[in-house]
Structure 1
Amino acid sequence: MNEAILEKLKVLAESAKYDVSCASSGTTRKNIPGGIGNAQGWGICHSFTEDGRCVSLLKIMLTNNCIYDCAYCINRRSNDLQRATFSVSELVELTIEFYRRNYIEGLFLSSGVVRNPDYTMERLVRAIKDLRTVHRFNGYIHMKSIPGASEQLVHEAGLYADRLSVNIEIPTEQNLKLLAPEKDHASVYKPMSFIQQGMLESKEDRRKFRSAPRFAPAGQSTQMIVGATSENDKQILQTSAALYQRPSMKRVYYSGFIPVNSYDNRLPALKQPPLVRENRLYQADWLMRFYEFKVDEIVDDRYPDLDLEIDPKLSWALRHPEVFPVDVNKADYSLILRIPGIGVKSAKLIVMSRRYTKITGSALKKMGVVMKKAQYFITCNELPVHTVHEASPEYVRKVLTEKKFPKSKQTDQQQLSLIFE
């Protein structure tokens, strides 16, 4: 492979690593005669580099040149860093060669904005169009739509990409203007609406004609930066909840702020990214999507931020001891979902199994229930009466958050405390 292309690859792969919204599943495309590869709905097997990057997709930028000067972005125009730009043919050749060598299973394509949004978007679309029509590439393609791009270009992108995404970056307009004065939320929400409209029209067309082309079959996603601005978790989750009202929105990604431009006084002086907070937001997001929780149940005016010490579901349960204990042999599915230590799969197994037999503690363990948590919030035939009411929420929190030391490293005092716990 051309040395110049490989040098560009080093620069542009490094520039792309801060975008976490690289979904790799959600669509199935079978191989066709004369085509290259396919895409599977259950996702791509990921491998990770030492710094945590996913490398199963070729995660690359068309260019790291950019007309914007966003405070949080490594590729801002005022930064003095090595710049590179792929031609459309170079990017296509690189993707095909990597795919043929089985280095990758798909493409995640983004770009800095050069000249104007439509100019950049047109080049991105041309790249994925050539992959599909000229090289007949059937692998997975996730493309970043450029905020401010025209409806025509967004629609054309959706005909060739499996998933499209437009990053919100900062949850509130006020703070976005603070860190990125040249951007606004209107330019982000507009292409989101174009994508949604294209998906709905495609769905309707395919009801009438099975041969109608699919538009972004894996939907759309977005990303928010966590910790760069003053938003609390309630504001972030409210934004996410509003986005999930859109039928086309599949995932909202949360990216802990990485201080790559520490010289900018508008940014907080963080020593490391807020990774625990990022993880708690993903857990809260999961509760909204699969556990029937509302935003104001997870966070409210009294608790606007997620508890960093315990997961959001356990935090909710400890704040509402009046709901428990729950009898797993009688409670409905929605209430069982709210028990700490019980997941969606386990809840479904409980509801299905109790039609035929009484649920016991040993049965719950076999179903995958985390009894260390669940035992304080449930009742069933075998379990002793030792619920959150008898133990108190404070005691349960202490027990579940206390670090256990290996016996060889325990002091005499620590061993005694465990014995009399």
Structure 2
Amino acid sequence: MLRILPFLALVLLLSGCGVDADQEMLCRRLIPAFDGGPVTGLSAQAIAEDRRVVRIDYRAGGQAHWIACRFAGTAMEEGRRTLAAVATDRTGWLREMRFAMLMQWLRIKPADAAVAGDRPERAGPTRWTPVLFLLQQVINAATVACVYGLLALGYTLVYAILGQINLAMGELTMLGAMMTAMAAAGLGMAGWAGWPPALLGVLALVMGFTAVQGWAMDRLVFRRLRGVRSHTPLIIAVGLSIAYQEGMRLLHGARDWWPAPVLTGRHELLSDGAFTVTALSAQFAILALTAGLYALLWGIIQRTAFGRAHRACTDDVAAAELVGVDVNRTVAATFAIGGGLAAAAGAVIALYYGGVNFFTGYLIGFKALAAAVVGGIGSVPGAMLGGALLGVVETFWSAYFALAYKDIVAFGLLALFLIYRPQGLLGQARGRGD
């Protein structure tokens, strides 16, 4: 058995895949149906929220475009070569009649028609291929970890000071994602879609708006429930979550929003001829954004009057109030900061993954809460550590095992931590002052 284990590990490494080559090639063959001129700068990625969707980014006529193909199964399931739906940045998801016409066009189109930029035939796997694939998954996991980490910070800041979980925080992420998608559409019409200052302006606007939403949540709802020692605040949070979802659905409909891709430059880091480790410019930007926001938050908590007040309220709210700390102002500012961080996570989802809708914050919110609990809810470093751990688990499971069980594994991890280490990795088991 010991001799077989290394061989099984190698098989697992070789069996995982990022973007299925057959799915990518089929999706590329559809591009001439929408763009007749030369096509360059092609890059493919699988959508994290639905691995059945392959998205191809490309340039045609000097402009950036994308096409997304949804298949009946992932690379590890039946139906992986059966095309189920197609979307583009200009049409959205095609309606049934247009999709049927596209399928008819695909059957008529010669199978060997080439798209500029198609990948040449690659060499067979080498002994370094599994290592390079592993490194690629680490890079992919870093982006997912940033999303979970930013939202987990919002959860952990509020819990640290109140001992209550605001389940509506995920809907602030949804709000940030939807606003970013709509703003990105406006920038695209103005020709500023890829201009970094414009993107930073959108990020600041969205974070400011959701910060006000977070402040309003505390001022209008949670402040009135500050002394309640029942499940009422939790029930109110669930109600707020549903209200945000339904409000967004009624205002903007249930359709998905797919912003035009930004910072799509692809950088080849390592290669053995059979597999190339790549990273997008957007991934570097996401890592820099997350690191900057975390460093800013750490500095605020450690070196400002608000940070001292927050730490005092975290230790004992009653004692902090006795020594002159304005608890109401501190809690309201905490809700605002948490809302801004949630919006940053939503902006990353919208601009990097796409496909946002009124339901985007539901599952993401619960997963970020799982990350906060695993890392130690109430601990700022623990929130980032939990996000990193959950991102690694999800990404590696998706790459090496059956994708359908990804969420079961994520929430199973939460259950194990709640059973065997309720305080999380960096949390502390302690009582709270009244």
Q: Could you tell me the TM-score, scaled by structure 2's length? A: 0.24
Q: Which has the bigger relative contact order, CA under 8 A and spacing at least 6? A: 2
Question: Which has the greater radius of gyration?
Answer: 1
Question: Counting helix residues as a fraction of each chain, which structure ranks higher?
Answer: 2
